Amino acid sequence: MSDNILILENISKSFPGVNALANINLNIKSGTVHALVGENGAGKSTLIKILAGIYKSDNGKIFLDGNLINFKSPHESQLNGLSVVHQELKLSETLTVAENIFLGNLLYKHGLVDWKSMRIKAKNILQSLEMNIDVDETVDNISLAKKQMVEICKAINHQCKILIMDEPSATLTETEQKIMFKTIRKLKSSGITIIYISHRLEEVFDLADYVTVLRDGSLVDTLPITEVDRTKLISMMVGRELKDEYPKEFFEPGEIVLTLNLSAGGSW
């Protein structure tokens, strides 16, 4: 039996005047962190939206757990075990943490919403990931990092098999990033597959087992992270060898065009 949880065969997508994806073939192994990298416009977002049921591919096939799939909506994608944590979080700010974790997945008892059971289960999910978040706190009162964790818990509560994370560290502090990385490793150890999109290559080398590079809508290659270094990865992304990533430039100063004489009175 194949250990690939997700297989993409010849996935293409075009928009008026733009060929966003061209015959993408990709295998994602179960229980791994698979990084997806490329410059802006490489096709990463389009590919993720196809997997999430937001876009429909023009051609090609997608197999999840060996079954041919064709998601027609994000809800259908989520029901089949694929969840996305977008850069723009999809939370209801006025609801509590527990209520957000159960959005679209309420528990019922005797025909009524079972708030008690949802609070207990939400608490258990948070504790399993060692997250110190009050389930009764409204989401608008918690930090951005904690909101992201609530999104992850919501995905776990929907029994996700594959969690796609789109630039999750872009707005986090260094301390918050470390907490998120620890959470990702715990998810991986529990058997959840992570597709990780990031422009920060140090994160890719820190977290990923495999890396796929897209460039101009085409697949460049998929490799174990142990088989690439930073220089090679950048070269794959931009399509040329970079001998000097931050070249020094020297300029001869010209004539003086502005002179100022400033003074300030009083005390600071």
Strands 162-166 and 193-197 come out as: parallel
Torsion of CA 38, 40, 46, 47, to 10 degrees: 10
Q: Is 138 a domain residue?
A: no
What pLDDT band is residue 49 in, cutting at 50, 70 and 90? Answer: very high
Q: Is 37 a domain residue?
A: yes
Tokens read off for 121: 């289960």
* Residue 172 CB burial class (10 angstroms; 0-12, 13-18, ≥19): middle
Q: Residue 39 is part of which domain span?
A: 4-81+160-238
Residue 182 inside a domain? The answer is yes
Which has more pLDDT, 177 or 205?
A: 205
Is residue 104 in a domain? no
Residue (of 134, 150, 143) closest to 173 by Cα position: 143
- pLDDT tens string 186-245: 999 999 999 999 989 999 999 999 999 999 999 999 999 999 999 999 999 998 765 555
Q: Does residue 94 lie within any of the structural domains?
A: no
Task: Provide the β-strand partners of residue 109.
Answer: 112
pLDDT at 143 over 70: yes
191 touches 211 (CB < 8 A): no
Note whether residue 36 is domain-resident.
yes
Q: Measured between alpha carbons, how far is 46 from 62 in angstroms, rounded to an integer? A: 15
- Return the CATH number at 48: 3.40.50.300
Neighbours of 114 (CB within 10 A): 15
| H helix or E strand, kind and range, residue 221 | strand 218-224
pLDDT tens per residue, range 105-122: 889 999 999 999 999 999
**Segment 34-46 mean pLDDT:** 93
Give the H or E element holding residue 127: helix 115-128
Nearest to 131, CA basis, from 208, 187, 88, 189: 187
User: Please, which pLDDT band fits residue 267 given cuts at 50, 70 and 90?
Assistant: very low
Q: Which two tokens stand for residue 51?
A: 């997997």
The model's pLDDT over 55-92, given as tens digits with 9 standing for 90+, comes to 999 999 999 999 999 898 988 998 899 999 887 888 99
Residue position matching structure tokens 């999750």: 168
The radius of gyration computed from the CA coordinates of the chain, to the nearest angstrom, equals: 23
Task: Report the domain count for the chain.
Answer: 1
Is 60 exceeded by the pLDDT of residue 18? yes
**208 in any annotated domain:** yes
Find where tokens 């090679």 sit: 232
Percentage of the chain exceeding pLDDT 90: 66
- Return the pLDDT at 232: 94
Note whether residue 210 is domain-resident.
Answer: yes
